[in-house]
Amino acid sequence: MEVEPKTGVSFPAKLPDGKQLCATGLRRRKLLALGINIYAFGMYVDIDARLKEILKAKLGEAAERPCKELYEAVIDGDVGIVVRLVIVFKGLTMSMVRKNFDEGLGGSLKKLTGGQKNEELIKKVMAAAKDGTKLPPGSVIEITRLPGHVLQAKVKDELMSKVESELLCRAYFHMYLGDDPFDKEAKESFGRTLVSSLSAP
């Protein structure tokens, strides 16, 4: 287990399907000029031969440190990745999560499309979630990129959606690994883990 230091939330080093934990981080929001901790997150990746091939094709054999090209390879590639969100904010409801999700993902889509938010695409992700659903601290949301650029959303182990969209996948992981990430330290830790994996047998 690895503990996210700011919240004390624990994340398993490996998921049942073999994806490895590459970084933990914290999502904060400003509320009335105060920084509020919303959720801790862990980023998991399939560190396999295919991922190494993708990274080496982009970076060459001798990547020594994380770089923009590495993050772009993960954001844009059909790479198996999971972001596990563990709620830490008391009183959170599904409607609040959906609003936060729509704002963050909408902003990310605008960056990638030159200003188009594409609201219909965003709404598909949490379409099945009920606004009144309470998410007490410890509740888990998992967002996964499946093969073929399919973005899957689960809330408390319940499947919410599977949306096939390369753009949506890129926009979601851009929030964590792009130019203005939710947690810069988590992004850098993720990059270091992948760089070290390239030299592993």
pLDDT digits (tens, 9 = 90+) for 135-176: 999 999 999 999 999 999 999 999 999 999 999 999 999 999
- First CA to last CA distance, the chain: 23
Please give the CATH topology (third level) of the domain spanning 2-196: Chalcone isomerase (3.50.70)
Domain boundaries in the chain? 2-196
pLDDT of residue 117: 75
The residue type of 6 is K
> Residue 186: pLDDT above 90?
yes
Is there a contact between 22 and 193 (Cβ–Cβ < 8 Å)?
A: yes
Predicted confidence (pLDDT) per residue in 125-135, tens digit: 888 888 778 89
Residue linked to tokens 């605008």: 110
Amino acid sitting at position 179 = D
pTM: 0.93
SS3 156: coil
- Name the nearest CA neighbour of 121 among 96, 149, 79: 149
Task: Give the DSSP letter of residue 3.
Answer: E
Cβ neighbours of residue 192 closer than 8 Å, sequence gap 6 or more: 65, 66
Cα gap 20→81, rounded to integer Å: 9
Specify the pLDDT at position 101. Answer: 83
Residue 99: predicted pLDDT: 85
* Residue range 105-120: mean pLDDT, rounded: 88
Indicate the residue type of 117. Answer: K
DSSP code for 39? E
Q: Residue 12 pLDDT > 70, yes or no?
A: yes
Q: CA quadruple 59, 151, 37, 178: dihedral positive or negative? A: positive
More confident position, 146 or 47 = 146
Q: What local confidence, expressed as pLDDT, does residue 30 receive?
A: 74
